[in-house]
Amino acid sequence: MKKYFTLDKFSVKSISLTAAAIIMLWIKTYITYKLCFDIKIENGMQEFILFINPLCFLMAIFAIGLFLKDKRRPMFIMITSILITAVLYGNVVYYREFTDFLTIPLLMQAKDIGDLGGSIVSLLSPWDILFFLDIVLLGLIIKFKPSFVVNKSYSKTNRRVFLLLVVAIGFFNLGLAETERPQLLTRTFDREMLVKNIGTYNYHIYDAYLATKSSAQRALADGSELAEVENYVRANYKEPNSEMFGAAKGKNVILISMESTQNFVINNTVNGQEITPFLNDFIKESYYFDNFYHQVGQGKTSDSEFLVENSLYPLSRGAVFFTHSQNEYKATPEILNENGYTTASLHANGKSFWNRDVMYQALGYENFYDIESYNVTEENSVGWGLKDKEFFDQSIAHLKEMQATGKPFYAKFITLTNHHPYELDPEDASIEPFNSNSKTLNNYFPTVRYTDEALEQFINKLKEEGLYDDSIIVIYGDHYGISENHNAAMAQYLGKESITPFDSVQLQRVPFIVHMPNQKEGKVISKVSGQIDVKPTLLHLLGIDTKNNIEFGTDIFSKDKLDFTVFRDGSFVTKDYVYTRETLYDKKTGEPIEDKSVAEPYIEKAKQELEYSDKIIYGDLLRFNDKNKYDSK
């Protein structure tokens, strides 16, 4: 007589179909953790937790099959295995580019997947077929019914025992995780920590809970929650630099977001050639901030827009442009509208991508020149759409339209060509690719160079049209272009043995350049700053007071500005320290510092600001604020 989960002379005579499916998925998940995700393991206990964390979920989900009739159970097991594999594989593909895990809010953006075609295909590998071998094996078992696998009804007692085992394993896993990482479930911004301790599948369940919770926060919020945030903001407000305040009052603003451009390309070479020759010269007659960091989350370019125009942090999950586009904001475009400007965003992509057509209304934009405002053909397009040179060239006409209103204008440009997977027509390439084992990094340099050339042509055109000396020109990188998955190639390029977590943080620096009207002499400012500081910096240059604003950035020109920038994952940079992955580094040496107490005030400040910003967004708290006044002095 065959026995289930019992040993006869130390060999298994037979195994249930349910157990076979659980074991195969369990092993596959653990192998995926080790080969496809860069999950840091510090000790044997963490390794054990990583190993067991898929088990509870898999047993729980397949427990449903115990209550089905025998003939229906194989189909349930097969379909469930396919769905779980799809979730795991989806995370793997996403992780390859973003070194992050999927979230429910991110999946709400699925309507934009069609626009991501080239990027997604480039992330696929022929080896990915191995993810589905267990599914094929399971299908063969179900079809041919080998003797070592059985499918039989379970008694009520066996079901109870199975369910109790699921609960026991779940609490055992959670108990170990909480011991290893106290207050684990409050660290929702650290998805790697959650996956490492409770597993990919349980993380997604917890993420769904958070999505439901965040939906309820707005309904339950009231104006009293805003008072604490206001007190914090007021206490941290820094007076503007009197020499810079109003220095460009009434001037046009041309804000240029450079797609995927990191600061390491500035004043650097590849194959003996300058990567950004124009920008290298442009910063010599501009203010150049060489310790300026991007602070985006999963929303990437849209998050950078949100940061720059609201001086609020993005969310740790999904993109604010999607999840909270109906909120009340007091963004730069709206403020400038109230101060006599005409405002527009220019981007040669579909207006609904990143939900911009909806979100731009909330931000106060009067006009949006999307793809329908440009002549786009196969010849003048590559990768994600209209080439940058064509984009800037055709945009001149739109600037003239804004100029014709008789008002100063605020125009934001979002470039496209330097976007993963960094495709470029041969005739547009001015420099050769880098030579490494990373195609992404290799092709990155020619596309950065192309955007640099596009900027040069645009600036020259502004001069020809008489717009250059009557405008503030602000250029910034929106987010990283090379993810940590290409660290080996990046280390090769930078001449390092490896890229440490400290190096990874430093690589999050992006260009930030401010050229003032008629400015001839440049200045390098090394104050630690980030995208959250752009809004107050720009408004102060235009002579617009922000003292009553609810925002977390500080005018970078302010003499009292704190050297401090916090990232969405809780990492931060100061004048002396870099803190990331719960390790404090000496900024000068890059070496870890054992005593974290010296950075405790910064750790608390980083946590506080992220929490306050989240409260504002999730609760839509700015709808209760009637104190925002933006008056020119």
Q: Determine the 3-state secondary structure of 173 from DSSP.
A: helix
Q: Report the distance separating Cα 301 and Cα 274, nearest Å.
A: 26
Q: Determine the 3-state secondary structure of 82 from DSSP.
A: helix
Half-sphere exposure of 71 (CA within 13 A, CB side): 0
The reply to whether 500 belongs to the active site is: no
**Taking the CB of residue 217, how many other CB atoms lie within 10 A of it?**
16
Half-sphere exposure of 579 (CA within 13 A, CB side): 28
Half-sphere exposure of 452 (CA within 13 A, CB side): 27
Residue type at 341?
Answer: Y
The residue behind tokens 């003499």 is 559
Pairing of strands 287-289, 523-525: parallel
The residue behind tokens 């192309």 is 450
Terminal CA-to-CA distance of the chain, rounded, Å? Answer: 91
With residues binned 3-state (H G I as helix, E B as strand, rest as coil), the percentages for the chain, rounded to 5, are 50, 10, 35
Distances (CA, A) of 7 to 20, 26, 53, 521: 16, 21, 25, 82
Beta bridge partners of 586: 577
Q: Report the distance separating Cα 125 and Cα 424, nearest Å.
A: 22
Q: Is the peptide bond before 146 cis (omega within 30 degrees of 0)?
A: no
One DSSP character per residue, 39-56 reads ----SHHHHHHHHHHHHH
One DSSP character per residue, 497-558 reads S---HHHHHHTTB--EEEE-TT--S-EEE---EEGGGHHHHHHHHTTB--TT---S---TT-
Give how far the C-alpha of residue 627 lies from the chain's centroid of Cα atoms, to the nearest Å.
31
Choosing from 85, 301, 451, 580, which is the catalytic residue? 301
> Cα-atom radius of gyration of the chain, to the nearest Å?
27
Structure-token pair, residue 248? 């460009």
Candidates 335, 309, 332; CA nearest to 320 is: 309
Alpha helix positions (H), 155-249: 156-180, 191-198, 200-220, 224-235
Q: Provide the annotated active-site residues.
A: 301
